[in-house]
Amino acid sequence: MIINKNVIKYIVYAVPLGLFFILPKLIGFFTDWLWFGEVGYTQVFTTRLITQLLLGVSAATAAFFFIYVNLQIAVKATKDKAINVTLFEKISVPPTLGIYFKNLILPVSLLVSLFIGQAASSQWMKFLAFLNTTSFDLKDPIFGQDISFYFFSLPFFNALHAFAWWVVLISFVLTMVYYVSKTALWFSQSGFFIDKLTEKHLSTFGALIFLLLAVGHILSRFGALTSPHNLGTGAYFTSVNAVLPVLLVLAPLAMVITAAFLRNIFAPGKKWLILSLGAYFLVWIFGAIAYPTVLQKLVVAPNELSKEDTFIKYNIAFTRAAFNLDRIEKRDLTGETVLGLDDIRKNDTTIKNVRLWDRQPLLDTLGQVQEIRTYYDFVSVDNDRYTIGGELRQIMLSPRELNSESLPSRSFINERLAFTHGFGLAAGPVNQVTAEGLPVLFVKDIPPASTTKNLAVKRPEIYFGELSSDYVFVKTKAAEFNYPKGEKNVFQTYEGKAGVEVDSLFKKAAFALRFGSLRVLLSNDITSESRALFHRNIKERVQKIAPFLQLDSDPYVVATKEGRLVWIYDAYTTSNDYPYSQTIDGINYIRNSVKVTIDAYDGAVRLYVSDSKDPLIQTYQKIFPGVFLPLSEMPADLKEHIRYPEDIFAYQSTLYSIYHMDQPQIFYNKEDQWVIPLSEGSRENGEEETMMRHMIMKLPGQEKEEFILMLPFTPRGKDNLISWLVARNDGENYGKLVVYRFPKQKLIYGPKQVNARISQDAEISRQISLWDQRGSQVIRGALLVIPIEEALLYVQPLYLRGEGGKIPELKRVIVAYENKIAMEETLEVGLARIFGSGASVVERQKTERQEPAETDLAKQAQETYEAALKAQKEGNWAAYGEEVRKLGEILREMQDK
- Which tens digits make up the pLDDT trace of 596-607? 999 999 999 999
Ramachandran bin of 696, using left for φ above 0, alpha for ψ from -120 to 50, beta for the remaining angles: beta
Residue 289: its pLDDT value, please? 93
How far is 713 from 722, CA to CA, in rounded Å?
A: 6
Residue 216: its pLDDT value, please? 96
Cα dihedral 538, 541, 542, 543 in deg (nearest 10): 120
Residue 482: its pLDDT value, please? 93
How far is 83 from 780, CA to CA, in rounded Å?
A: 83
Residue 338: its pLDDT value, please? 87
How far is 234 from 177, CA to CA, in rounded Å?
A: 42
Residue 64: its pLDDT value, please? 96
* Sequence-ordered list of residues with C-beta below 8 angstroms from that of 91, at least 6 positions apart, any chain: none
* Sequence-ordered list of residues with C-beta below 8 angstroms from that of 811, at least 6 positions apart, any chain: 437, 798, 799, 800, 825
Q: Crossing angle, helix 154-181 and helix 105-121, to 10 degrees?
A: 170
Residue 773: its pLDDT value, please? 74
Alpha helices (runs of H) in 384-537, residue ranges in sequence order: 412-413, 505-515, 518-522
Residue 178: its pLDDT value, please? 84
How far is 504 from 392, CA to CA, in rounded Å?
A: 52
Residue type, 22: I
Using 50 as the pLDDT threshold, list the residues of the chain that sit under it: 1-3, 92, 682-683, 685-686, 838-853
Residue 842: its pLDDT value, please? 38
Residue 137: its pLDDT value, please? 95
745, with CB counted inside 10 A (0-12, 13-18, 19+), is: exposed
The predicted model scores a pTM of 0.87
Name 191's bridge partners: 188
Residue type, 702: Q
